[in-house]
Structure 1
Amino acid sequence: MTVPPEPEDRGTLTISPSVVRKIAQHAADRVDGTTRAERRIAGLGLGTHGASAKVGGEGNDVDPVLDVALHYPAPVRRIVGDLRARVTEEVERITSYQVRDISVTVSALLPDIAPRVR
């Protein structure tokens, strides 16, 4: 019976930046205070979207860039701090990649809108 090679000698694992991006978006959307924004093109409503992300970096070091909408009124600095912590924790836990820096743009502050019909 042959002994299998040691785990570190079995090959490589590369995680696509698109996977890291999706993890970052999902983690950002789960932070209290973030919200979904309406997507509009040429004045037409096309549904809603949560956080969007781009991921840069090299090797096992990643630098997510996030764009999020927050509830209004909101403690922006606290929510962004929570968001950075959550995204870092999730990306590092799931991928074992090191998050070096997270840039966050708050692109909207949206109030809760009551439904028109009750």
Structure 2
Amino acid sequence: MKSEPGRADRVASSGTSTEPEERGTLSISHTVVRKIAQRTADQVDGTTRAQRRVAGLGLGTHGSSAKVAGRADEVDLSMDLALHYPTSIGTVTGEVRERVTEEVERLTAYRVRSLRVTVSALLPEIQPRVR
């Protein structure tokens, strides 16, 4: 049995092929991109949870919501979020845009072509009555 010329150079120490065309493909669904965007937006200072109706879950308190569209290696995101009141809407939404874009591109290798942010609520921080 003859070995293919150069084949030893393309086999990792574990004995598996390292050639890209022999490794298969990796597909990241838009559902994963949506969850990354939502979690990242929820971690930005100034965003908050709001009471929303979510399909299948009913009415409850939820963080931001996102929709993803696109094809190939580009995505378009639409985000809906609630912010603390008072806050600088421009500053918080700018931070959301920057951090969501960076995180989606870092984790998925999708390029964020557009990111639309809608602020659907401004909610005051409720202080506890008893300290």
TM-score, length of structure 1 as denominator length:
0.88
Q: Which residue of 2 aligns with 1:50?
A: 63
The runs of 4+ residues in structure 1 deviating greater than 3 Å are: none
Aligned partner (choices 92, 105, 121) of residue 92 of structure 1: 105
* 1:7 CA displacement: 2.3
RMSD: 2.0
3-state DSSP class of the match of 1:110?
Answer: strand
Alignment of 1:1-118 (within 5 A): 3=11, 4-39=17-52, 46-118=59-131
Residues paired across the two proteins, number: 115
Whole-angstrom CA distance in 2 between matches of 1:73 and 1:15: 37
* 1:114 CA displacement: 1.5
3-state DSSP class of the match of 2:114?
Answer: coil
Deviates more, 1:7-16 or 1:27-36: 7-16
Gaps of 5+ in 2: 12-16
* 1:34 CA displacement: 0.3
3-state DSSP class of the match of 1:102?
Answer: strand
* 1:8 CA displacement: 4.4
TM-score, length of structure 2 as denominator length:
0.80
Over the matched positions of the two proteins, sequence identity in percent amounts to 64
Choose 1 or 2 for highest CA Rg.
2
Question: Which of 1 and 2 has higher RCO (CA within 8 Å, sep 6+)?
Answer: 1
Gaps of 5+ in 1: none
* 1:85 CA displacement: 0.3
Whole-angstrom CA distance in 2 between matches of 1:66 and 1:111: 21
* 1:117 CA displacement: 3.4
Whole-angstrom CA distance in 2 between matches of 1:65 and 1:40: 17
